[in-house]
């Protein structure tokens, strides 16, 4: 077999991923889902939860530039920014366009991927289940609604209200608590539930939640991986990971 130019294990694609420093869930969930011949290569970047202010966006862009240039040296087919809060930048393609301009590699990011996932499923009205505090939930609601997604309900866990040092607790939320939290977030009229935050574990729950709720359940990690694989030209259906990863 002729090998790809960058090694024996990446015959189909090589994905680069940028995550916040405390994130321990994103790469763990992706590693469970990657199709054969697709490899993952990860770096960590400071957390940027405020991309709405001029100073916040400037800091985000400075860090993004240095980290995509570093990852680009590994010759990925796609680079993903795996942070929901940090990628809520409007207009929706601004951040990913900047990433690609910096390094010449196609790019995806979590918040835009959530919007694209809802659109790909043919839906427009969602409920949000997050680990976040109220201010960050409101920021996400505004981002989604600015991009044509109606948010009919939100339910958070309040993590981060006492400062960024709390965010390490997100990955520690037990799966049973996540499951109950998502069920409680459902509201009448919602076409889907979005589970927000790439450090909020939910992968083993997605299929069961969809069955229990009778509607799609889309997580940050699922949506970002879906977007990255599709951008790399890979449309494999991935079983037991929610409806989104069954569509091309």
Q: Write down the domain spans for the chain.
A: 13-109+222-237, 113-219
Fold agreement between 13-109+222-237 and 113-219: yes
The CATH number of 13-109+222-237, from 3.50.50.60, 3.40.50.12500, 3.90.1260.10, 3.20.20.70, is 3.40.50.12500
pTM, rounded to two decimals? 0.95
pLDDT the model gives residue 17: 99
Residue 205 has pLDDT above 80, yes or no: yes
CA distance readout (Å), 140 to 85, 150, 201: 7, 11, 19
Q: 1 pLDDT exceeds 50?
A: no
Per-residue pLDDT, 6: 60
CATH of domain 113-219: 3.40.50.12500
Alpha helix (H) residue ranges in 75-164: 94-103, 110-120, 134-146
Q: Looking at the chain, how many residues does it have?
A: 248
Give residue 3's pLDDT.
Answer: 44
pLDDT for 142 equals 97
Chain CA centroid to CA 232, Å? 16
Distance CA 49, CA 66 (A): 18
The band of 8, judged by pLDDT with boundaries at 50, 70 and 90, is confident
Question: In this predicted model, what pLDDT tens digit does every residue of 133-186 receive, in sequence order?
Answer: 999 999 999 999 999 999 999 999 999 998 889 999 999 999 999 999 999 999
Show the tokens assigned to 34.
């990657």
- What 3-state DSSP class applies to 59? helix
pLDDT averaged over every residue in the chain:
95
């Amino acid at each position: 077999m002729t090998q790809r130019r960058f090694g024996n294990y990446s015959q189909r694609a090589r994905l680069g991923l940028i995550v916040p420093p405390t994130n321990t869930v994103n790469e763990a969930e992706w590693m469970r889902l990657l199709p054969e011949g697709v490899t993952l290569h990860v770096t960590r970047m400071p957390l940027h939860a405020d991309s709405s202010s001029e100073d916040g966006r400037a800091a985000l862009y400075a860090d993004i530039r240095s980290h995509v240039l570093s990852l680009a040296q590994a010759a990925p087919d796609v680079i993903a920014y795996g942070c929901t809060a940090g990628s809520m930048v409007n207009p929706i393609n601004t951040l990913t366009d900047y990433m690609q301009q910096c390094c010449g590699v196609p790019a995806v990011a979590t918040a835009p991927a959530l919007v694209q996932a809802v659109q790909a499923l043919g839906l427009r009205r969602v409920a949000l289940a997050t680990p976040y505090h109220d201010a960050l939930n409101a920021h996400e609601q505004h981002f989604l609604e600015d991009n044509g997604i109606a948010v009919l309900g939100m339910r958070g866990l309040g993590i981060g209200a006492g400062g960024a040092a709390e965010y390490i607790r997100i990955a520690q939320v037990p799966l049973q608590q996540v499951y109950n939290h998502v069920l409680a977030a459902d509201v009448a009229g919602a076409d889907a539930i979005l589970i927000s935050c790439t450090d909020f574990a939910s992968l083993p729950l997605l299929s069961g939640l969809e069955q229990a709720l009778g509607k799609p359940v889309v997580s940050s990690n699922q949506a970002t991986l879906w977007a990255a694989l599709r951008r790399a030209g890979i449309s494999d259906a991935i079983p037991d990971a929610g409806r989104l990863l069954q569509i091309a």
